[in-house]
């Protein structure tokens, strides 16, 4: 099934190399924006909204995504790496900031990733805005459990686990960790994760994802 394209403006580009786009709606209002899905990627019940110009939503190969992607403004990029899956996620890129998600990530439901609070928190003393926007970068092989908020300006290292219900307001710079809570903090080190469920794994198999 082909995506439902609702596009107004000039110079916009859409590329679909996947095989299945069930209930996929792409709305673009503006000029010179691009949406692309890589080889063998699929989407189900996803809405992609782009308002502005020179923005990009780039989905890699062998991805499965579901949810809502919203880009507002100019010159922003949302990039989703190969083999990454979303059960149901909301991504917001605005105020000139990007979202970059690595390869082999696994995101559950109710996840929100945003580059801005969308409103201003202002100091009564100075008149200065206190909640500046910032790009979000999530490394390779990151598992984000249900109902997690990834806030503006955050970077998460490769091969991490973010526990259910966490709110991530600061960088998580250590790989092989589990972080939980609000604000999220590391509770365990020296771990990785797998989509497969079994009692024990050969140690030599735990980094196989790096070679795909």
Domain parsing of the chain, residue ranges? 4-198
For residue 212, give the nearest of 74, 100, 35, 84 by alpha carbon. 84
CB-CB contact of 33 with 51 (8 Å): no
Distances (CA, A) of 194 to 37, 151, 184, 197: 25, 25, 22, 7
Residue 168, beta-bridge partner list: 150
pLDDT (tens place) for every residue of the chain, 212 residues total: 789 999 999 999 999 997 789 999 999 999 999 999 999 999 999 999 999 999 999 999 999 999 999 999 999 999 999 999 999 999 999 999 999 999 999 999 999 999 999 999 999 999 999 999 999 999 999 999 999 999 999 999 999 999 999 999 999 999 999 999 999 999 999 999 999 999 999 988 888 898 88
Distances (CA, A) of 5 to 27, 30, 49, 140, 182: 6, 14, 11, 30, 39
CB-CB contact of 173 with 184 (8 Å): no
CB-CB contact of 159 with 176 (8 Å): yes
Predicted local distance difference test score (pLDDT) of residue 212: 81
CATH of domain 4-198: 2.160.10.10
Residue 143, beta-bridge partner list: 106, 161
């Amino acid at each position: 099934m082909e995506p439902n394209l609702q596009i107004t403006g000039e110079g916009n580009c859409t590329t679909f190399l996947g095989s299945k786009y069930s209930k996929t709606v792409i709305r673009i209002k503006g000029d010179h924006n691009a949406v692309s899905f890589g080889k063998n990627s699929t989407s189900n019940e996803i809405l992609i909204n782009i308002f502005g110009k020179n923005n990009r939503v780039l989905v890699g190969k062998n991805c499965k995504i579901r949810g809502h992607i919203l880009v507002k403004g100019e010159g922003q990029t949302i990039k989703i790496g190969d083999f990454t899956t979303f059960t149901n996620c909301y991504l917001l890129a605005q105020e000139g900031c990007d979202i970059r998600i690595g390869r082999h990530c696994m995101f559950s439901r109710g996840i929100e990733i945003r580059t801005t609070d969308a409103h201003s928190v202002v100091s009564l003393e100075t008149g200065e805005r206190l909640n500046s926007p910032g790009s979000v970068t999530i490394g390779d092989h990151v598992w984000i459990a249900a109902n997690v908020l990834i806030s503006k300006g955050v970077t998460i290292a490769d091969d991490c686990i973010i526990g259910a219900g966490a709110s991530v307001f600061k960088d998580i710079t250590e790989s092989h960790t589990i972080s939980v809570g609000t604000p999220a903090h590391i509770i365990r080190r020296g771990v990785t994760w797998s989509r497969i469920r079994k009692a024990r794994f050969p140690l030599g198999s735990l980094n196989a994802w790096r070679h795909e």
